[in-house]
């Protein structure tokens, strides 16, 4: 199982992600990096539509696709648009604990 690594300091960002759009996302959201202005999106973020979740990122830094449980199925057009028209080369999926979509079939009643 994957391990969750807290990002509380710049050195906590894994070396492969430093100075990349994913690393910048962590710097903005987790570390309070000063908000810069961007002229084009750098990343596509897929995340849950849960109303309790928000991101601290600059305007024009990311396309954000919010769906139930961050399920990216049936979003091929939106993803393709972000890549082909928007020019993003990085996709980040953000999960959270206690998602209402987890094990939804068990709560059918």
Give the start-end residues of each E strand in the chain: 43-48, 62-67, 91-94
Burial 77-105 (b: 16+ CB within 10 A, else e): ebbeebeeebebebbbeeeeeeeeeeeee
pLDDT tens per residue, range 31-57: 999 999 999 999 999 998 877 778 999
CB atoms within 10 A of CB 63: 19
CB 66 within 8 A of CB 49: yes
pLDDT in tens, 89-108: 999 998 777 767 766 677 67
pTM: 0.86
List the domains of the chain with CATH numbers. Answer: 37-107 (3.40.1050.10)
């Amino acid at each position: 199982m994957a391990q969750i690594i807290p990002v509380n300091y710049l050195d906590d960002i894994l070396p492969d992600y430093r100075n990349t759009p994913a690393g910048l996302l962590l710097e903005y959201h987790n570390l309070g990096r000063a908000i810069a202005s961007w002229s084009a999106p750098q990343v596509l973020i897929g995340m849950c539509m849960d109303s309790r979740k928000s991101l601290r990122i600059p305007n024009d830094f990311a396309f954000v696709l919010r769906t139930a449980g961050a399920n990216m199925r049936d979003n091929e057009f939106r993803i393709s648009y972000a890549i082909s028209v928007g020019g993003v080369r990085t996709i980040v999926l953000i999960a959270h604990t206690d998602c209402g979509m987890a094990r939804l079939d068990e709560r059918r009643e």
